[in-house]
Amino acid sequence: MLSPTRAAMHLDLADLRLFIHVAEAPSLTQGARRAHLSLTAASTRIKSLETRLDARLLYRNSRGVELTPAGRRLLEHARQVMRQVDSLKNDFADGSTGTTGHIRIFANTTAVTEFMPEILARFLAGRPGVTVDLQERLTRDIIRGVMDGSTDLGITAGPINAPGLERLHFSTDRLVLAVPTVHPLAARGRVTLDDTLRYPHISLHEGSTMLTFLREQVENRGAGLILRIQVSSFEAICRMVEAGVGIGVIPESAARRHRRTMELSIVELDEPWAVRERDLLVRELEALPACVRALVDAVRAYGEQTAAHAAGGAASPAKD
């Protein structure tokens, strides 16, 4: 809330957008480039903004810039203001139909590598005016991103704590164990995580939500995970499993798809966390731009159609 002495303060939308660019870069040079300004012009605008707010917003150092506490507060407000401005523009332009706009998505590994490419391909094919920034993030960073407005949409799997956010369930998946067809565990109907820990695992890359989650489960048991090799996709995990390199914990949807073309066995994981509910996270659905709401509808429809297909219903997810 502005004090009476600052009630007449003038804040330029271009300055707020520049500040967001600098904060997210995070460097003045990169922020200026994103805002299509010279470094000198960007520096002058930031200093003017600090003067008008009577607060230091950035710490400048050799590595770039770091937000001060006042800068973090401004960033939150600036993102809210720009979301409202974008929403207003959409409501009075082609965006009201969801055919223009930009969407930023923070999602877990499975979403980024498995189903979102398919959904986005169909969604964007009919919306040439929409652009998307899809980023893989850890669950805690997804939640934080939606809360502070640095992303429009979050996609998570499994139990989460996200008070104040809207959670929109759209599908359910299960983690399973992929093993070579001649592996000792292949004949088992189901196994626990403890049963797998004596064997070398194949996992996704460092920083992936799947590896982070699996390590947490192993560490909760006071045990360690034997990693034979780390790869970049579930398909690569399955290829390594087929070759007899090791075993891997992956989503059942991915395991069944790749088993059609590879020799591997799928073993059920007898763990309470193996069944994972997938959610879309938003701050306020009705306040989102039309293009984001349209994508939410597309993801939820895909989830419903995929569930129907798995139960023997529709032959394949319908085109968006």
Last residue of a domain, one of 48, 81, 114: 81
Q: Is 194 contained in some domain?
A: yes
Judged against a pLDDT cut of 60, whether residue 315 lies above it is answered with no
29: domain CATH number?
A: 1.10.10.10
Query: What pTM did the predictor assign?
Result: 0.67
Confidence at residue 305, expressed as pLDDT on a 0 to 100 scale = 85
Write out pLDDT tens, residues 274-306.
999 999 999 989 888 889 999 999 999 998 888
Note whether 166 and 286 are same-domain residues: yes
Confidence at residue 141, expressed as pLDDT on a 0 to 100 scale = 92
Q: Is 300 contained in some domain?
A: yes
Q: Is 319 contained in some domain?
A: no
Q: Which domain holds residue 36?
A: 9-81
Q: Is 320 contained in some domain?
A: no
Judged against a pLDDT cut of 60, whether residue 4 lies above it is answered with no
Confidence at residue 148, expressed as pLDDT on a 0 to 100 scale = 85
Write out pLDDT tens, residues 24-59.
887 888 888 888 888 888 889 999 898 888 899 998
Q: Is 153 contained in some domain?
A: yes
Note whether 251 and 178 are same-domain residues: yes
Confidence at residue 98, expressed as pLDDT on a 0 to 100 scale = 67
195: domain CATH number?
A: 3.40.190.10
Note whether 290 and 151 are same-domain residues: yes
How does residue 158 score in pLDDT terms, banded at 50, 70 and 90?
confident
The number of distinct structural domains making up the chain is 3
Span 198-224, average pLDDT: 93
Note whether 75 and 221 are same-domain residues: no
Write out pLDDT tens, residues 168-196.
999 998 999 999 999 999 999 899 999 99
Note whether 60 and 194 are same-domain residues: no
Q: Is 62 contained in some domain?
A: yes
Note whether 205 and 257 are same-domain residues: yes
3-state SS string over the chain?
CCCHHHCCCCCCHHHHHHHHHHHHCCCHHHHHHHCCCCHHHHHHHHHHHHHHHCCCCEEEECCEEEECHHHHHHHHHHHHHHHHHHHHHHHCCHHHHCCEEEEEEEECHHHHHHHHHHHHHHHHHCCCEEEEEEEECCHHHHHHHHHHCCCCEEEEECCCCCCCCEEEEEEEEEEEEEECCCCHHHHCCEECHHHHCCCCEEEECCCCHHHHHHHHHHHHCCCCCCEEEEECCHHHHHHHHHCCCCEEEEEHHHHHHHHCCCCCEEEEECCCCCEEEEEEEECCHHHCCHHHHHHHHHHHHHHHHHHHHHCCCCCCCCCC
Confidence at residue 319, expressed as pLDDT on a 0 to 100 scale = 36
**Bridge partners for 230 per DSSP:** 203
Note whether 77 and 96 are same-domain residues: no
**Tokens representing residue 107 in the block:** 């999602």
Span 160-172, average pLDDT: 92
